[in-house]
Structure 1
Amino acid sequence: MALKWGIAAAGKISQDFANAVNTLNADDHELVAVAARDLSRAEEFAKKFGVKKAYGSYLELAQDRDIEVVYVGTLNPQHLEVATLMLENDKHVLVEKPLCLNEKQAHKLITYAERKKLFLMEAIWSRMFPSYQYVRKQIQNGMLGDIVTVEAEFGFGGLNNIDRLAKKGLGGGTVLDLGVYVIQFCQWAFQQVPKSVTATGTLNDDGVDVEVMGEINYGDNKIGKIKTSGLQTLSNTATIVGTKGKITIPSFWCPTSIIDIDGTEKTWPLPDAEHEFIHINSCGLRYEADEVRKCIRGGEKESENVTHNESLLIARIQDEIRKQIGVKYAEDD
C-alpha cells in the first residue's frame, strides 16, 4: 500500500524531494498534499509535481486525514513548530536537516514524537545512499582495519550572500547547513561518542558563521577533521583512513561513486526524473523516502540509519562548535 505523503513548504528542497519521490513506484509512495504560506505557490507546486491537493497553511495540511507522513522542508527556525504541529495531528514526520536549531529543541521534538508513538527522522539523506551502505560493509568486514582519521570538507563560494544562510533570524550559518554533513560523516564512520570538540570560525556582520574549521576527538588518537565554508568552494570530499588503507568519497553528502580501498571506482547511477533537479544528485532523496516507508510499514518509530540519539549527538556537537566560535541564536536561551 502506498505511503501517503504531505509536504510542508514549497521551496527548492521540497521541489527536489517531490521530484525524487515521483521516481519511485506509485504503489509504494503517493504525494497527497503540499502546503505553503502562499496558496498560489502551493498550487503551482501541486500542478508541477502531480500532487493532489494544495493548502495555504500548514494547519490544513496537518488536519488532512488522508496523509500518513509529512516531509518538513521549511526554514530552520520553523522545524520545531511545524514538525510538532504534524505530530499533534498524528502524522509521522521526516524533518529536513538540521532537525532543530539546537539540542534543546531536538530533545523536545524527539520526546514528543516518542510520547505520541509516531515515527520521526532527521533527513540526513546521505546515509541511505547505496554508496554509504557499501562503505559501511567494508568497515564492518575489517577491510580498512581500525579507523584512525576521517576528513570531510564542504563549502561553496557565494553562500554568504543567501539570506537563509547569512541571517541569524533565519537560522543561518554553515554549521547548521553544511556542518550537519561533515559532523554526521565523522559520526557515521567512527560510531562513537566524541571525547572533545574544538573549533575556530569566521563570522559575518549578522553574527553567524561563514567558515569553520574543527576537530572531533574520539580518543585513542582517532580524529575527525572538518571544514565548512560559504566563502569558497572546497574539495567537497570525505576520506576515511584506516590502518589497512583508505576510502575516498567525492560529493560525500550525496555520493554516487567512491574510490574503494583498492583504488578502483565504484558507481551507483541515479535514475532519470520528470523534471531537472535544483541541487546535485537530489534524485537520491528517493532513498530516504524509501527508508521512511520501510520503517513506518515495519512499525518502527525511528530509523537505525539516523537514530534519535544520533540526531541529539549531532545537535550537541553543533551547539558546542557554535559556542566556541560565538554563534548564538535567540532560541538558545
Structure 2
Amino acid sequence: MALKWGIASAGKISHDFVNAMGTLSEGIHHVVAVAARDLDRAEDFAKRFDIPKAYGSYKELAQDPDVEVVYVGTLNPQHLEVGLLMLEHGKHVLVEKPLCLNEKQAQQLITYAEQKKLFLMEAIWSRFFPSYQYVRNQIKNGMLGDITMVEADIGSEGLDKVARIAKKDLGGGTVVDLGVYLIQFCQWVYEQAPKSINARGTLNEEGVDLEMFAEMTYGDNKMAKIKSSGLTKLSRNARIVGTKGQITLLNFNGSTTIIDVDGTQKTWSLPQAQHYFNLSGSCGLRYEAEEVRKCIREGKMESNLVTHNESLLIARIEDEIRKQIGVKYPEDD
C-alpha cells in the first residue's frame, strides 16, 4: 500500500524530493497534495508532478484526510510552526534539515511528536545513501583501526548573495544551512558527543555567519575539523582517518563515490529521474523517503539512523558554534 504524502512548500528542495521519489517503484509512494502560501505556485507544482490537490495554505494541507505524512520543505524559521501544525492534525512528519533553528525548538517539536505518537525525522538524507552503509561496515569491521581524525568541508561561492544564507530573519548562516551536514557527519562517525568545541567565523552585517571553522575533540585522541563557507567553493569531501588507513567520501553530504581503505574508488549510481534536479545528487533523496515509509509501516516514531536524541545533539552543537562566533537568532531568547 502506497504511503500518501503531502508536500509543504513548492520550493526547489521540495521539487527535488518529489522528483527523487518518482524514481522509486510504482505504488510505494504517492504524493496526494502540495501546499504553498501562494496558491499559483502550488498549482504549478501540482501540474508538474501530476499531484491531485493543491492548496494555498499549510492548514488546508494539514486538514486533508488523505495525507499520511508531510514533507516540510519550508524555510528554516517555519520548520517548527509547520511541523507542529501537521502533528496537531495527526500527520507523520519529515522536516528538511535543520530540524529547527535551535535545540529549544527541536525539543518542543520532538516532545509534541512523542505525545501524539507520530513519526518525526530530521531529513538528514546523507545517512541513507548506500555509501554511508558501506563505510559504516568498514568501520565496524575494523578496517580503519581506531579512528583519530575526521575532516570535512562544504562551501560555495556567492552564497552571501542568497537570502536564505544572508538574512537573519530567514534563519541564515552557514552553520545551520551547511554546517549541519558537517556536524552530523562527525557525530555519525564518532557516535558520541564532543567533549570540547572551538569555533570561529566570519559574519555579515546581518550578524549571520558566511564562514565557519570548528575543531571538536572527542577524547582518546579523537578530533574533528570542519569548515563551511558561503564565500568560497570548498571540496565538499570528508575524510575519516584511522590507525590502519583512511576513507574519503566525495561530495560527502550526498555521496555516491568513495575512495576506500585500499585506495580503490567505489561508486553507487543513481537512476534517471523524469525532471531536472536543482541540486546535485538530489536523486539520493529517494533513500530517506524509503526510510520514512519503512519506519511508518513498522509503527516507529523515529528512525534508528537519525534518532530524536541525535537531532537534539546536532542542534546543541549548532547552538554552541553559533554562540562562540556570535550568531544569535530572535528565537534563541
Range of TM-score over shorter length: over 0.9
Question: What amino acid is the match of 1:18?
Answer: V
The one-character-per-residue Cα deviations of 1:3-44 (angstroms, maximum 9, x if unpaired) are 000000000000000100111122110001000000000000
* 1:173-192 paired onto structure 2 within 5 Å: 173-192=173-192
* 1:290-301 paired onto structure 2 within 5 Å: 290-301=290-301
Aligned to 2:99: 99
Question: Does 1:78 pair with 2:105?
Answer: no
Q: Any gaps of 5 or more consecutive residues in structure 1?
A: none
* Secondary structure in structure 2 of the residue aligned to 1:304: coil
In 1: Cα distance, 2:129 partner to 2:216 partner: 24
Question: What amino acid is the match of 2:148?
Answer: V
* Secondary structure in structure 1 of the residue aligned to 2:30: strand
In 1: Cα distance, 2:140 partner to 2:49 partner: 40
* 1:186-201 paired onto structure 2 within 5 Å: 186-201=186-201
In 2: Cα distance, 1:59 partner to 1:26 partner: 29
In 2: Cα distance, 1:22 partner to 1:147 partner: 38
Aligned to 1:36: 36
User: What is the CA distance between 1:181 and its match in structure 2?
Assistant: 0.3
* 1:250-329 paired onto structure 2 within 5 Å: 250-329=250-329
* Runs of 4+ off more than 4 Å: none
Question: What amino acid is the match of 1:84?
Answer: L
* Secondary structure in structure 1 of the residue aligned to 2:227: strand
Question: What amino acid is the match of 1:136?
Answer: R
* Secondary structure in structure 1 of the residue aligned to 2:160: helix
Question: What amino acid is the match of 1:318?
Answer: E
* 1:1-333 paired onto structure 2 within 5 Å: 1-333=1-333
In 1: Cα distance, 2:320 partner to 2:31 partner: 38
In 2: Cα distance, 1:52 partner to 1:189 partner: 42
* Secondary structure in structure 2 of the residue aligned to 1:43: helix
Question: What amino acid is the match of 1:122?
Answer: E
RMSD between aligned alpha carbons? 0.5
The one-character-per-residue Cα deviations of 1:228-248 (angstroms, maximum 9, x if unpaired) are 000000111000001110000
In 1: Cα distance, 2:314 partner to 2:50 partner: 35
Question: What amino acid is the match of 2:198?
Answer: T
Q: TM-score, normalised by structure 1?
A: 0.99
In 1: Cα distance, 2:306 partner to 2:110 partner: 12
In 2: Cα distance, 1:310 partner to 1:197 partner: 17
Q: How many equivalent residue pairs?
A: 333
In 1: Cα distance, 2:100 partner to 2:277 partner: 25
In 1: Cα distance, 2:22 partner to 2:57 partner: 23
The one-character-per-residue Cα deviations of 1:251-300 (angstroms, maximum 9, x if unpaired) are 00001110000000000000000001010000000000000000000111
Q: Any gaps of 5 or more consecutive residues in structure 2?
A: none
